[in-house]
Amino acid sequence: MKTIYKFITVLLLTVNIGCSDNNSVGQHPIEFTPPGIVTNTNVESISGGAVISYTPPSDTDFSYVEAVYKVNDALVRTTKSTKYTQKITVDGFPNTNPQTVQLYAVDYNGNKSDLVEIEVTPLKPPYIEAFESLNVRNDFAGVYVKWENDLKKYIGITVLKYDDFNDFVPYEVVYDDFTTFSTNVRGMEPVEVQLGFFVRDEFGNISDTLIETFKPLYEIQLDKKKWKALALDTDVRASTRHKRGLKNGFDRLLSDVQNYKSGYISSQVTKEGYLPHHQTYDLGEENLISRFICHPVKNMGYKQAGWKKMEIYGTNDQSLIDRETNGVWTWSNGDDPYETGNWREEGMDGWDYIGEFETIKPSGLPGTQIENTDTEFAHQGFAFNVPPNASYRYVRFRTVEMWANVLYSGWAEMTLFGAPTN
């Protein structure tokens, strides 16, 4: 008996050694019995897809449910839901036609159940809703495009334009960032142009193409020689320490970008420094404002005087300017912010809100931490499109948040584009 035991042991070792020569990787299934099928299915249609609820099989080794379905001619998708969820979502369908979904129950060994086919009828897909909501109109040096994306799905809007060879080709692709649902497409002459627009989603589905004729508006860089730096009662004072008044923030040509080593800096006196605070420009005449570029003082894009968020307001009401000229403003809270540093919301009533603008750091690093890409990006100037119909003579730049933990702000040069209203 002893001898037989040793022989069997050697034989088993030999078999194990022989198996080690195989190239298989991973654990082989310990059994091959498939689980039962899902039952009691119910379908809830959603935009571009459906939510399928079900009762899972009672097998103890049941792991998940797998749905396999054809999205379009180029894509077959597979989605899964765990054993702890009795529903599965299928999406990406290109239209509202009935679609077939194949459901399998899968156990821990990878065994699949028999097929259960479910028919789903998706609601209108997000990319079609976005296409049907497209609103395009003439804008400065191009067109203004607006759309709806309530579900915040990934979509791209391709703009088509005839090239020099008379081919209708992509001119620009706009990707929805889930924030503004609008954009300006620029770089065109003020002559009639035929443009096309279609929407593509993340699954490769493409809408029809909207084709219309537009005539972009004439756009120029607004003449800074006509501008004037105002010093209204509720405006934050300029820094006396650095002698960088507001006029130093719009006194150079845009082409002088390499020399932006100085500019405007607001007061750094603690009792006067307070956020939010604002500065006011007189553009000399009423202008339709299309966009602006703010160049930070060199190496201050994301620190010191570099602002993170700014609001812009406008007015053509001369009385709003007169009420704050030469110290005639009466502070509603009974104190003078130049003495207390308490700016609050003084002086903003009556001004039209144009929009909020935020400087972006490409690296995504927190606080004042930067990389070379951040420095290069800031050096080019922060460019922003202004919402349509902003037609003003007086403009207020209101700093509401800084990158650094400081209470003063500034910039090297502010440049506005658009055209005189008249």
Residue 357 reports pLDDT greater than 80: yes
Residue 339's φ and ψ, nearest 5 degrees, are -100, -35
Topology of domain 220-420, per CATH?
Answer: Jelly Rolls (2.60.120)
Strands (E), 73-207: 75-82, 87-91, 99-107, 116-120, 135-139, 142-146, 155-162, 168-175, 182-185, 193-201
The helix (run of H) or strand (run of E) holding residue 351 is none
| Residues 317 and 349: beta-carbon distance below 8 Å | no
Q: Which two tokens stand for residue 130?
A: 């976005």
For residue 122, whether the previous peptide bond is cis, meaning omega lies within 30 degrees of 0, is: no
Query: Which amino acid, 185?
Result: V
| Cβ atoms within 10 Å, residue 86 | 15
pLDDT at 396: 96
Topology of domain 126-214, per CATH?
Answer: Immunoglobulin-like (2.60.40)
- Hey, what's the torsion of the CAs at 230, 232, 235, 237, to 10 degrees? 70
Is the pTM above the cut of 0.85?
no
Q: What is the pLDDT of residues 273-320, one digit of tens each?
A: 678 889 999 999 999 999 999 999 888 889 988 999 999 999 999 999
| Cβ atoms within 10 Å, residue 319 | 8
Cite the residue boundaries of each domain of the chain with CATH code 2.60.120.260: 220-420
- Burial tier of 372 (Cβ tally within 10 Å: 0-12, 13-18, 19+): exposed
| Residues 93 and 99: beta-carbon distance below 8 Å | yes
Distances (CA, A) of 312 to 94, 109, 213, 278, 373: 41, 62, 32, 9, 27
Residue 8 reports pLDDT greater than 50: no
| Residues 170 and 159: beta-carbon distance below 8 Å | yes
- Helix, strand or coil, per DSSP, at residue 200: strand
Cite the residue boundaries of each domain of the chain with CATH code 2.60.40.10: 39-120, 126-214
pLDDT at 271: 63
Q: Which of 211-220, 320-329, 373-382, 402-411 has the highest mean pLDDT?
A: 211-220
39-120 classified as CATH 1.10.10.10: no
In the beta sheet, which residues pair with residue 277?
399
Cα 179 to Cα 201: distance, rounded to the nearest angstrom: 17
Q: What is the pLDDT of residues 126-165, one digit of tens each?
A: 999 999 999 999 988 999 999 999 999 999 999 999 999 9
Of the pLDDT bands very low, low, confident and very high (cuts 50, 70, 90), residue 7 is: very low
Residue 275's Cβ-side half-sphere holds a number of Cα atoms within 13 Å equal to 18
